[in-house]
Each structure stands twice: as C-alpha cells, then as structure tokens.
Amino acid sequence: MSSPIPKWLSPRCLSKRTADYQALDEEAQHILFAAALMHDIEKRSTTTRETINGKTRITSPRHAKKGEYSARRIFYTDIPTPFTVRESIAKLVRWHGLPLWAIDKTHPAHRVIAASLQVNTHWLTLLARADIQGRICQDADTLLTCIDLFAELCRENGCYGQPRPFASALARYHYLNHPTVIQTTFPTTT
C-alpha cells in the first residue's frame, strides 16, 4: 500500500529521505511528516525584528511552545487524530530546536533526559536534521554537528529513542526537580 501523503506535498526537508526515515514504520513516518509540516507554524505569530548594535535580526521567540498548542488543537479539532499520535506530533513541534542548542546550555544531560520523557529523541534528531537540510544557511555543518552531539548525549544518558528509565517514580520526580543532582544518585533500572 502506498502512502496516502501525496509526493508533491512532501516538504523539502523530508524529500531527502534518509535510511533512518525509511526504517521507521508507516505511523512513525506520518508522525514525523506532520511534525515537519507543523514545526514552524507559529512563526507567523511570533516573528519580530530586533536591532542590536546596528544589526537587524529576525527572531521568533517561543514559536515552538506556541506551535505545540496549535498543532495539538489542529489535530484534535480540525483533523481528529488518535491521542498518542497527536501528542507525539505536538511534542516534536515543541522540542524541534532542542538538538540545536542543548549542548550549549547548562545541564545538557538533564535537558535531554527530561525531554526524553515527552518525545522520542530519535525522531527529534531526524526532524532537526531534516529541518537543517531544508534550509539555506551558511552554518549548516555546525548545526548538523550540534545534532550529532545531541544524539550522542542522548545515547550516553540512555534516552536515545526511548524515555530515560529511572529506578522509581520518586527517583524520576527528584531528578526532574533537582537538575544539579548527580545522575548516579538514583540508579536507572536495567
């Protein structure tokens, strides 16, 4: 059976079909495709110009967070979608920029572990890579390296493509609410 998504509708960022994307099951491909369509949906309402030191920049602060709510609403009211599929799309929209900046922030391991409890980090890596490959920008190689480092950070922390396991719900709660706690304080399940 062929995909119900027309080939001409495919966004540029997913037209470069990677082996990783092809290896996904059909539902996962549809989730990723929908997230690719929706990931910048709220740039329309958040884009502004700011001038700093004589340089004008176009920014879209908080577009991902606002986009999460828009995607959820669209896939609830306009295109009725099963809960798990809808939430997967919404969370991919919410966290699509994480692979680009996680390494540069404080407590990067904590950030990827917390994100893994909401979103499939393997899919997030594929979406971020497709987003960069669909752009025309001078720093694409640097951004792709950031994505590779994000994926490696997820692997090192046991949360690449899966939620990070914790020994108990209390251990998870404590870790999420105390980002400076050393990871080994609460061992993971095996």
What are the pLDDT digits (tens) for 172-189?
999 999 877 655 545 555
d(CA 109, CA 116): 11
d(CA 133, CA 108): 24
Same domain, 48 and 106: no
Q: Is the pTM of this model over 0.95?
A: no
d(CA 94, CA 40): 10
Q: Which domain holds residue 175?
A: 97-184
Structural domain contains residue 173:
yes
What are the pLDDT digits (tens) for 59-117?
888 999 999 999 999 999 999 999 999 999 999 999 999 999 999 999 999 999 999 99
d(CA 50, CA 40): 19
Question: Looking at residue 15, what is its pLDDT?
Answer: 45
Same domain, 176 and 102: yes
Instruction: Identify the helix (H) or strand (E) that includes residue 57.
Output: strand 55-59
Structural domain contains residue 30:
yes
